[in-house]
Structure formats: structure tokens, C-alpha cells
Amino acid sequence: MNIHLSQLDVIFDRILSGGDVFRDRNLLRHDYMPQNLPHRESQIERLGSVLAPALTKDRVSNFFAYGKTGTGKTIVAKFVLERLVRKAGQYNRALQTAHVNCRLAGTNYRVVADLCRRLGVQVPFTGLAVGELLDRLKEALKKQKTAFLVVLDEIDALVKRSEDDSLLYELTRINEALSEGWIGLIGISNDLHFKDFLDPRVLSSLGEEELVFKPYSSDELYDILQERSTQAFQHGVLDEGALRLCAALAAREHGDARRALDLLRVAGEIGERDRSPRILEKHVGEAQQKVEHDRVTEVLSSLPLHSRVLLLSVLHLESARKESSVTGDVYEVYRELCSVVRMEPLTQRRVSGLLNELDIMGILNARVVSFGRYGRTKKIRLGVEPRTITATFSVDEIVGGLLEHAPKYLHRQRQLN
DNA sequence: TGTCCACTGGAAGGGAGGGCTT
DNA sequence: AAGCCCTCCCTTCCAGTGGACA
């Protein structure tokens, strides 16, 4: 026991002294705001000049940025707003900002509620009409006579989920009713085809100014990583090849800077744990696996109960047959598993919707196919390693028991063939 | 060429859980 | 407390569909 305690002491001391590997690992977190953003100068300038009138009493154009994850949209918006607010402070201008992630917020209601709270208006978490919330928001803007710059991050999630863009329409129109105080919208979308979903009225007013963020190239990612790593790592610890590999791997993932930073940080942590004096390419390789594994595990453990049972049904089918399954089969196994745990099954229509959701998350691959005379259905395959599912679900009280259950439906099917 | 299968996915609506107003 | 209106999650209903087969 004493040995363990002293080992722990050593670990803690090493971390406290900054560690042998890192000087400051926080610099590699993607929410860290660096002093400058390499290869995004033109976007910063563009957004800055669009928003600059906010420092006078003028209204600014709404702005729309799109590009894939990790291309710097969010950080550029935060970067510019942060400086704008600082400037407004110096000149005593009334300027407030809000950054809402629409996917995390989930519904129109929660987005507007977030905005209200930013302006200091307390609203209940449910119960009111969205229209009522919008009125309160308007009222607050009028009373505070403030400019309000709102970043709607992952705005596509909102429009797709609610299947209508009336909230965006209302938000873009809010200024018409105001004489003093106004709202400026900065929409950020991961989906390049997002605009296709929008009502032309919304589009014309939201897309007053727009900007595309191209994926970072491998060389650009390298620059970003290098700039951060000189301060994040101890001198001479990070191998040049490892840095290049992080950049290259992330460039392959549609130029995702977030992924590149994660890889570098995790590689550093793995090296640190191995007590390796240097961070090498092999650590990046391990980091690649760990990052992916962690992402999947996190998604799996936050799935609702029915989705978990559904995923297990696909797992059972796939491990028994080694080929993709169709909706009908998955549903039959799902029903059986539900009855085992005494749970009321959802309808096939709902299950079909849940399968689509799992597909979007990347947990499953579902593709609509037609077997001609034998109907039209979805072909479903697992999108993640079976053992990741098994490992995550084995600690689950309800679903864990189903891992060992051999579905009778499969047995019957085998006899029929 | 028409039929028919096994679904898909849109639309409408129900009801549980909640807050607001009177 | 009653009546109203909201969101969220789900069910029910049903028209639509790609392509093998006769």
C-alpha cells in the first residue's frame, strides 16, 4: 500500500511541476482561445468588417458562415466577438453577445430561452409559447437599447429537427418592431446544403453576408499545431514526425483542426503515461484509436433505452449472420428483447425513425434499398466495433443482461432456411 | 408492362408533463 | 383550481416507391 501511495505522490508531483511532457496541455483543447488564428486572417477580417458598425449605432448585416466541423467557424466568431466587446467597452457602447449551440439546445424554445437569459430575462424551462419568449426578448432589447449579436452555432440542427424555419424567420424580423436596440444574427452551419432547407424569405435576410470556411490543408494544420505545441509541450519533447502525422491524419478527416488538436493532446498524454521521453508517431497512432473509441463510447452511453435495445438487436443479427439486416428483422428481434426485459416496444414507424437517428450519429449505417418484388426496406449494418458496444453495455443494468440473450427469432429463421 | 412486396416517410393528432393567466 | 397553451415523444394512418418478377 505504501508503495502505491508513494507512486501516486510521484505522479502528482510530476503533474504539479508541469510534467515532463506538457508545459500547458490546456492550449491543446479546442475551446482554448489562442492569440491569433493562423490561416483564418481573411475570415476574421471579413467578419470583423461586417460587424464593425455595431460599435456605432448602426445595425449590422446578418452573417452566415458555413463549412465542415473543425474548420474554424466557431472560433473565428468567438474571436471577433470577444474583441468587438472589448472595443465596445472602451468606447462605452451598449453591446451584448450570445453564443448558442442549436444542436445542444435542441428546440426553438430552448434557443430563445437561452437568448432571453443572456439579456437577464429569467424564463421557465418550459411552458411558454415561443412567441411569448420572442416578445420578452424584444421587450428586453427595447428596454436595454442594446445591440445584441447572436451566434447560432450548428443552426442546421435546428432547422432540420423542427422541420420548419419559422424561428429563424421571426428572429430575422425582430428588428422591424424595434426602434432602439437591435439583434444581429451570425448563423453557423456544418452542412453545406443547409441553405436548401430554408424558406427564401429567411435566406434573403439571413444570408445578407456569407462566408465559406474551407477545410484546412495538411500544411495549414501543421502550422496550427506547431504554433500551439511550442507552448503546450516541454522543449524538445515532441517529435517532428508525430506532429506531421497528426496534421496528415486530421487533414484526411476533412481538414478538422479540432481532431488534429485532440490527436496531439491525447498522443502527449499516452506518451506521458508511458514515461516516454519523446512523443513519437506510434503515440499518435494509439491516440487515433483512443480518440475514436472515446467518441463512440460517449455516444453509446448517452443513448436512450429503446435505442440501446435496438442497437443490440442489430448486434445480435449481425453476429449471427455476418451480413446486413433489414428493418423487419431488426424490429422482430427488438420486440423479443423488449419482452425479455418487460418493456413495451415502440411501433415500427418509430423504430424506423430511431434507426435513422442512429445512422446520422454514425453508430449504424442504414441505406434504403429495394428488393424489387420482395419489397423496399433499409439495409442496416453496425457502424462501430461490436466489442465497443459490448464493453459499454455490459455495465448497463437493463441492457447488459440482453447481451447474453440468444434471440429465438434468429433460431427460427435459421430453421426456415 | 403491370403487379406487388415491404417497407419508407409525411402528416396529423394524442397525451404526459409543464407554466401562465384569471 | 380551471382552462389554456406550450413542447416532446410517440402512435396511427396512409400514399408513395424501386425494382424483381410474371
- Written as tens digits, the pLDDT of chain A (417 aa) is 456 767 778 777 766 665 778 888 888 988 899 888 999 999 999 999 999 999 987 889 889 898 888 899 999 999 999 999 999 999 988 899 999 888 777 777 888 888 988 888 878 777 777 778 888 888 888 888 889 999 998 887 776 554 455 677 778 878 877 777 889 999 898 877 666 666 666 777 776 788 899 999 999 999 999 999 998 998 888 999 999 999 999 999 888 999 999 999 999 999 988 888 899 999 999 999 999 899 899 999 989 999 999 999 999 999 998 888 999 999 999 999 999 999 999 999 999 999 999 998 899 999 999 999 999 999 999 999 999 999 999 998 889 999 998 888 888 877 766
List, in order, residues 6 or more apart from A126 with CB less than 8 Å away: A109
Q: What is the pTM of this model?
A: 0.77
Q: How far does the CA of A344 sit from the C1' of B19, in Å?
A: 30
Domain boundaries A41-213, CATH class: alpha beta
Which residue places its CA closest to the C1' of nucleotide C13?
A349
Q: Please determine whether the domains at A41-213 and A217-300 fall in the same fold group of CATH.
A: no
Rounded Cα–Cα distance for residues A248 and A256 (Å): 10
Q: How far does the CA of A394 sit from the C1' of B16, in Å?
A: 32
Q: Is the CB of A100 under 7 A from strand B?
A: no
Give kind and range of the element (H or E) at residue A376: strand A376-382
**Which nucleotides of chain C are near protein (any atom < 7 Å from a CB)?**
5-8, 10-14, 16-21
List, in order, residues 6 or more apart from A183 with CB less than 8 Å away: A137, A141, A148, A149, A150, A171, A174, A175
Rounded Cα–Cα distance for residues A87 and A84 (Å): 5
- Residues constituting chain A: 417
Rounded Cα–Cα distance for residues A105 and A109 (Å): 9
Fold of A303-416: Arc Repressor Mutant, subunit A (1.10.10)
Region A217-300: CATH code: 1.10.8.60
| DSSP one-letter code for A217 | P
Ranges of each domain in chain A: 41-213, 217-300, 303-416
Q: How far does the CA of A160 sit from the C1' of C8, in Å?
A: 16
